[in-house]
Structure 1
Amino acid sequence: MRRAVLYTLPIFASLRTSYAELLRRDVSTVCEEIAAAISSESDIYYPGRPSSEYTIANFHWLSSSTQESVCSVEPGNAEDVGAVLKVLSQNPGTPFGVKGGGHTANPGFSSTPGVEIAMYKFSGVTYDESTGLAAIGAGNIWDDVYSALEPYSVNVVGGRVSGVGVAGFILGGGFSFKTNEYGLTIDTVRAFELVLPNGTATNVTESTNSDLFWALKGGFNNFGIVTTFYLEAHTQTEVWGGAILIVGYPDDVVVATQNFYENVTDPKAAILTTFNNEIGIPITELTLFYDAPTAPDGMFDEFLAIPALYTDISTRSFLSLVTSTPDNATQTERGYFHTVSLYNLTVPLINAIVNETSYYASTLLLEVPGLFVSYDVEPFLPTYLQYGSDSAWPPSRDVGLLPLNIYYSWWFEESDALVNEIMVQSAEYLTQFAVSQGQPVADVTLYPNYAIWNTTVERLYGDNLARLQSIKAEYDPNNVMSLAGGWKF
C-alpha cells in the first residue's frame, strides 16, 4: 500500500500542474479579449514584463492574501468595468478578483490566479457643498480620503488606522471612531455607483432601488462592482487623541477600559484597547479619541495616569491621528483576522482576553516563527445602530454588538493551518466565556470585515441570507460574481 501511494503522488502532482497550466492558458485568452474590449483610459498588465503596475495591482497588505494573477486590469471608467465584466460573463469559469485597497486578511477574497481587477484609477474624492455628500472612488484608502476632505473642514465615517481600503471597509459595514456619533459607515451611504454583472452602470439609492441599496449595505461584491460611494459628510474640527504604548498588560488598563465602557456616554469619545504580543514581548496599545480639539476634563485621566513606554497625545488633524497608528508593522507577513461579538465588557471578560493573548503568544512562540498576537477591545455605545436603517448586515439592529478583533501574523505558509485552527479555537473559547458570564452570544452574527475566511455566511447574515440570495439571483442570474472571492450568497 505504501508503495502504491508513492507511485500515485507524482501522477496527482502532474494532474495539478496540468490543470494550472490549462487554467493559465485559458485565462490568457480572456486577458486578450479584455485588452481588446477596454478603452485607452484603462490598462492591462502581465507578469514577467517590465511593469511595477502588475506587482502593485496584485500586492496585498498580507502576503497570505496575495496571489499571482494571469493579468491585472486597471479600468479607468465605469464603462470599462462593464466591458471587463461582459468578457468574464462570456467566459464562464474564469476566476477573477476585485481589489480596492488590498487590506483584507482573508486569502483569495480580493486576489485570484485568474484576472485581477484593480480599482486604483477610481481614486477621486470630491465634496459637493450643496448636497453635503462626498463622492469617493473605490480605489482609495482612507488616508487619501481624509486628506482630500481636510481643506473643506468636513469628514466622513471611515477607517481608524492607516492603509485601510475604502471599498471592502464600506461594503462590509464599517466601524469608525465616529460610529458613536453617526453609526456604521454603511449608515452614511446615500448612493452607490454600481456596475452590474451584465456590464450596465447604474446609480443605486434607497429611492431608486431599495432592495439593491439594502443589499449593498454589508453585502460586499455579490451584486457587481461598486466604482463610487456617496457618503454623508460632517463638519470636522481638529480632534484630540493619539496612541499610548504600555509595557505588559497592567490591571489598570483593564479597569480603565471597563470603566470607560460603563460610564462614558459622550458620542464624541472613543477608545481602542489592544493587547499585543510580538515574539514574546507583551505591549498594550491604547488609542484615545475625542472629536473636538479638547477632551472634557477627567474623561481619559485613568488611561493617562498609567505609566507608559510612549505617548503621542495631542490636538491634531483627524488625518494625523489616523496615521499615528500605521498598519505596516506586520506588512508583507502572513496573517488572519477573526472576531467575537459581545454585548458588553466586564473586567472578567477583558481579563480572559488578556489571558488568551498571553497563553497563545507563549504556547506558539517556538512553533510559529515570527508570531505576532493581537486582541483588540472596541467599546461602542449601545445606541450606535440607531443612526441607520435596515441593511444586509447586521441582520438585526435590536442590539449594538461590540466586535472583538483577533489578529495573528507569522512568517511562513507552513504555519497557516495551525494558526487558523488556534484562532477559531480562541474565538470559540471567548464566546463561551461570555456566555458563562450571562451574554447570549453563542450564535450571534459576526462582523464580516473581521471574520476569518472559513466562517459560514449563515453565521454572518442570519435571517437576511434568504433575501440576499434572492436579490443576488435577480441581478446576477448567470452567477458571474461567484467567481470573484469573498463571502458568497
Structure 2
Amino acid sequence: MLPALFLLPALLSSLPPALADAADACSQIAEALSDASDVYDSVLEITGHFPKDISHWASSSTQMPECTVEPATTEDLATILRIVNATQTPFAVKGGGHTANPGFSSTTGVHIAMFRFSEVTYDETTENVVVGAGLVWDDVYATLEPMGRMVVGGRVSGVGVAGFALGGGYSWKTNQYGLTVDTIVAIELVKPTGEVVTVSEDSDPDLFWALKGGFNNYGIVTRFTLKTHAQPENVWGGLITYTLNNVDAVTAACANFSANVTDPKAGIITTYNFVLGELGISQLLFYDGPEPPAGIFDSFLDITHFSSDVKARTVVDLVTSNPSNTTYGQRGVFNTVSLESYPVDMVSFIADQAQSVGSKLSLKSGLFISYDVEPFLPSHLSHAAEGSSAYPPTRAKGFLPLNLYYAWGSDLADEDVFDAIRQSAQEIYDYASGEGGQDIAGFPLYPNYAIFDRSLEELYQGNVAKLTEIRARVDPYNTMALAGGFKF
C-alpha cells in the first residue's frame, strides 16, 4: 500500500528530481487506488462519468483535465494528495461545481470529483447531521425534511455543500441561526500530509477557525457535522416576476422591506435582470412557516406581476423551484459589494446599473446581467462570537452582500465582461460611500461572491496573517497551492 503520510525526509529523498506530467500522475493514481474509487481518462471516456465530473454551472469554470478521479474513501484521497504532491501535478477538487471563478474547482491536471462522499446521517441525540462534501444542498434538505429537521444552507437549487460552507454561507435561515459556518460542529479533513483528522473546536481550534471561511487551503474536506433545527412541514414563498413598467414599485417595496421588516423568519432576494434587451425583476419571497403574518409582503403582492409561484410548500419544493442553473452552459462571473443598508436611492442606483451595463454588454455577447439585492437583519452576524471564524473577519456590523452576476456566450468577450463587472462594482461602492452616505470602508467582501482577482485583504482583512500561518503549519510543502482558489 502506498504511504499516506509523505512528508518524511526519507520519502522526500526518494522523489524523482524531474516533475512527472499529468498523464503519469493519473497512471500512478489509477494503480494505487482501492477498488472503491475510479479514475476516468479524458481520451477514453467522452460520455458518462468524465463529463459529469468536470461539468460546472458556468462553462467558463470548466477545463479539460488529463483524468478525473472519483474517490470513495479518505485513504484514497490521501493517496491522491501524495501523488500530486510528489509529481507537482496541478489538481482540482469539485463539489457542486457552482463556482463562477475559472480554475477554482477545475484543472488541466488531475480533477477530483467528490460525488461519492454523499452521506447524510442524522443523530437524534445530538440533533446534528453529518453531511458528505460531494452533495448539493437539495440532497441534504430532501433527507432531513421528513424528519422535521433542517440546516442552514443554500437558497436555490444546485448549490454545492462544500464550497458554500467553506466560504461562509448566507441562507434563508441566516437571520435566525447565522451563517452556515456558525453551525459547523466538526469537519473531517484529509490534510495535505495525508493525515485524516476530525477538526473541531476541541481538537484543533485554530484549524477549525481557519476552515470556517478559508476554503480549500488546508486539505480536502470530506464531511461536515452541522447543527440542525426544527423545521415546520411547510414554509411559504416562491418566485414573482415583474416587467419594466413595475421596476420602480418593486424597488420601493424592496427598500421598505429592508428598512422595516424585523421578523427573522422573513427574507427576500430582489434580482434586477437585464435580458432580451429589457430590465425586469425576479423576486424571491420566503417565510419560515406555512403563512406569513399579515402585511409583511403586501407591498410586493399588491404589484401587478408577470408570473407568480408563491404558496405554502415544503423547503425542498421551494428550493428546487428556483434552480441556480437557469443560464447553464453559458460563461459566467460574480462580483460583490458589501453595503450598510438598502434605502430606495441605493436600490434605484443598483437597478440603473443593471440597465446601463446590460445595454452596453448586449453588443458584446452579453446574455444575462443580474444584480441580487439581499437584505438581512442588522443582527444576522451576531449568532456567533466575534472572531469565531475566519470569515467574516468582523461581526461589529451586519454588512449586506450584493451579488453581481453576468452570463455570456463567447470567450472572446471575457475581458470586456470582467472589466464591466469590476467597474460596476466600483461605481456602486463609490455611490454608496459618497452620495449614498454609507460608512462601508471597513466592510469585508463575501468570499463566495468575490471575483477571482479580489485580494485576500478585501475578504479576510486582519485575519490574513493568521490564516497564512495556519496554512504553513498544516501544508508545509504547499500542496494545496497546486489547486485553484483564493490562496494564503
Tell me the TM-score normalised to structure 2 length: 0.94
Partner of 1:483: 482
Kept in 1: contact 2:142–2:316 (CA 8 A): yes
Q: Does 1:430 align with 2:428?
A: yes
Q: 2:239 is paired with a residue of what secondary structure?
A: strand
Q: For 1:235, which of 220, 230, 238 is the aligned residue?
A: 230
Q: For 1:319, which of 309, 316, 319 is the aligned residue?
A: 316
* Matches for 1:301-312 after TM superposition, within 5 Å: 301-312=298-309
Partner of 1:199: 194
Partner of 2:340: 343
Instruction: Give per-residue Cα distances to partners, 1:206-261, cap 9 Å, x unaligned.
Output: 11110000000000000000000111011111101111001125211111111111
Partner of 2:210: 215
Q: 1:471 is paired with a residue of what secondary structure?
A: helix
Report the Cα distance in structure 2 between the residues aligned to 1:256 and 1:205, rounded to whole angstroms.
Answer: 43
Report the Cα distance in structure 2 between the residues aligned to 1:133 and 1:482, rounded to whole angstroms.
Answer: 32
Q: 1:383 is paired with a residue of what secondary structure?
A: coil
Q: How many residues get paired? A: 465
Q: 1:284 is paired with a residue of what secondary structure?
A: strand
Instruction: Give per-residue Cα distances to partners, 1:330-353, cap 9 Å, x unaligned.
Output: 101001010000011111110100
Partner of 2:69: 73
Kept in 1: contact 2:101–2:334 (CA 8 A): yes
Amino acid at match of 2:457: E
Kept in 1: contact 2:236–2:292 (CA 8 A): yes
Partner of 1:409: 407
Partner of 1:17: none
How many angstroms does 1:24 deviate by?
Answer: 11
Amino acid at match of 1:359: S
Amino acid at match of 1:416: D
Report the Cα distance in structure 2 between the residues aligned to 1:37 and 1:187, rounded to whole angstroms.
Answer: 38
Partner of 2:84: 88
Report the Cα distance in structure 1 between the residues aligned to 2:421 and 2:149, rounded to whole angstroms.
Answer: 39
Report the Cα distance in structure 2 between the residues aligned to 1:330 and 1:443, rounded to whole angstroms.
Answer: 33
Partner of 1:164: 159
Distance 1:24 1:250, change over 3 A: farther
How many angstroms does 1:365 deviate by?
Answer: 1.4
Report the Cα distance in structure 1 between the residues aligned to 2:351 and 2:154, rounded to whole angstroms.
Answer: 25
Partner of 2:57: 61
Partner of 1:281: 278
Q: Does 1:247 align with 2:246?
A: no
Instruction: Give per-residue Cα distances to partners, 1:45-71, cap 9 Å, x unaligned.
Output: 011214410111111111100000001
Kept in 1: contact 2:358–2:366 (CA 8 A): no
Partner of 2:445: 446
Report the Cα distance in structure 1 between the residues aligned to 2:150 and 2:207, rounded to whole angstroms.
Answer: 26
Partner of 1:261: 258
Report the Cα distance in structure 2 between the residues aligned to 1:381 and 1:29, rounded to whole angstroms.
Answer: 53
Is 277-286 or 448-457 further displaced after alignment? 277-286
Q: 2:309 is paired with a residue of what secondary structure?
A: strand
Kept in 2: contact 1:24–1:70 (CA 8 A): no
Structure 2 spans left out of the alignment, 5+ residues: 1-17
Report the Cα distance in structure 2 between the residues aligned to 1:359 and 1:25, rounded to whole angstroms.
Answer: 49
Q: For 1:115, which of 110, 116, 123 is the aligned residue?
A: 110
Partner of 1:10: none
How many angstroms does 1:440 deviate by?
Answer: 2.3
Partner of 2:398: 400
Tell me the TM-score normalised to structure 1 length: 0.93
Partner of 2:168: 173
How many angstroms does 1:443 deviate by?
Answer: 5.0
How many angstroms does 1:329 deviate by?
Answer: 1.6
Report the Cα distance in structure 2 between the residues aligned to 1:103 and 1:24, rounded to whole angstroms.
Answer: 31
Structure 1 spans left out of the alignment, 5+ residues: 1-22
Distance 1:84 1:25, change over 3 A: closer
Report the Cα distance in structure 1 between the residues aligned to 2:348 and 2:377, rounded to whole angstroms.
Answer: 21
Report the Cα distance in structure 2 between the residues aligned to 1:443 and 1:360, rounded to whole angstroms.
Answer: 27
Report the Cα distance in structure 2 between the residues aligned to 1:166 and 1:346, rounded to whole angstroms.
Answer: 32
Question: Could you tell me the percent identity over the aligned residues?
Answer: 51
Partner of 1:464: 463
Kept in 2: contact 1:279–1:370 (CA 8 A): no
Kept in 2: contact 1:408–1:419 (CA 8 A): yes
Kept in 1: contact 2:37–2:70 (CA 8 A): yes
Is 454-463 or 164-173 further displaced after alignment? 454-463
Amino acid at match of 1:49: L
Amino acid at match of 2:184: V
Q: 1:329 is paired with a residue of what secondary structure?
A: coil
* Matches for 1:144-159 after TM superposition, within 5 Å: 144-159=139-154
Instruction: Give per-residue Cα distances to partners, 1:136-171, cap 9 Å, x unaligned.
Output: 100001111111111211110000111111100000
How many angstroms does 1:279 deviate by?
Answer: 2.6
Q: For 1:332, which of 323, 329, 332 is the aligned residue?
A: 329
Amino acid at match of 2:42: P
Kept in 2: contact 1:279–1:361 (CA 8 A): no
CA RMSD of aligned residues (A): 1.3
Partner of 2:177: 182
Report the Cα distance in structure 1 between the residues aligned to 2:307 and 2:437, rounded to whole angstroms.
Answer: 37
Report the Cα distance in structure 1 between the residues aligned to 2:335 and 2:442, rounded to whole angstroms.
Answer: 15
Report the Cα distance in structure 2 between the residues aligned to 1:315 and 1:218, rounded to whole angstroms.
Answer: 33
Moved over 4 A (4+): none
